[in-house]
Amino acid sequence: MNNYATIFRNWFGYAALITLVCILVYVTVQQSFRLSANDPQVQMAQDAAIAIDKGMDPKSLPATQTGIEISQGLSPYVMVYDASGNVVAGSAALNGKPLKIPQGVIDFIRKNGRDAASWQPEPGVRQAMVGVSTTKGNYIVVSGRSLGPTEERIERLGEQVAFGWVMSLIGMLLIAYLQWLMARKPQAM
């Protein structure tokens, strides 16, 4: 049998296993990064909805007072909408205009109580958004923040996993070659 074919055959099984492990590591850690990007928004939206349920005026919520242009800022923000999707409170904006969440999203949150999603209102502006309905469903609280830092972390993760994958494949190829060399040497008694 061809020497290279023998080396490749010995290496291929390891290469497939290494590839599978690298894919699993990447997907698991990537999902962990993305899901953790929602953590502050879950707290902010839930706390604001509870305060409204207890009688606080949505316009007096401290979280709705911070103005942020979402195409530039990284800070989390809170917006409060009525059941028709009109902005009641909040000062986050996109290109100087108040954030307008699609009515279908407002309806979904009102019906199901909560939703979390990535939102891209325009190219280059990606947000991790969490929406919570008040108990009576008369207000929808939406909190969001930029996915920029999280996506940078995920990109670095991809580079690190790719580097580890390539180095592991090269290392396993070297091991397969050394195994082939050792098998060729006559055994001394």
Residue range(s) defining the domain that contains residue 12: 3-32+152-181
pLDDT one-digit tens code per residue, 75-118:
899 999 998 999 999 979 999 998 988 999 999 999 999 999 99
Give the mean pLDDT of 163-179.
93
Residues 98 and 47 placed together within one structural domain of the fold: yes
Residues 96 and 176 placed together within one structural domain of the fold: no
Residues 14 and 54 placed together within one structural domain of the fold: no
Give how many domains the chain has, as a whole number. 2
Residues 22 and 105 placed together within one structural domain of the fold: no
Domain-embedded: residue 49 = yes
The one-character DSSP state at 46 is: H
Indicate the pLDDT class of residue 181, thresholds 50, 70 and 90: confident
Ranges 6-15, 23-32, 85-94: which has the least confidence: 6-15
CA distance to 41, 71, 107, 147, 178, per residue, from 84 (Å): 22, 25, 8, 27, 70
* Three-state secondary structure of 124-171: CEEEEEEEEECCCCCEEEEEEEECHHHHHHHHHHHHHHHHHHHHHHHH
Domain-embedded: residue 103 = yes
Domain-embedded: residue 132 = yes
Q: How close are the terminal C-alpha atoms of the chain, in Å?
A: 26
Residues 87 and 60 placed together within one structural domain of the fold: yes
Q: Enter the pTM of the model.
A: 0.78
Mean pLDDT computed over every residue of the chain: 90
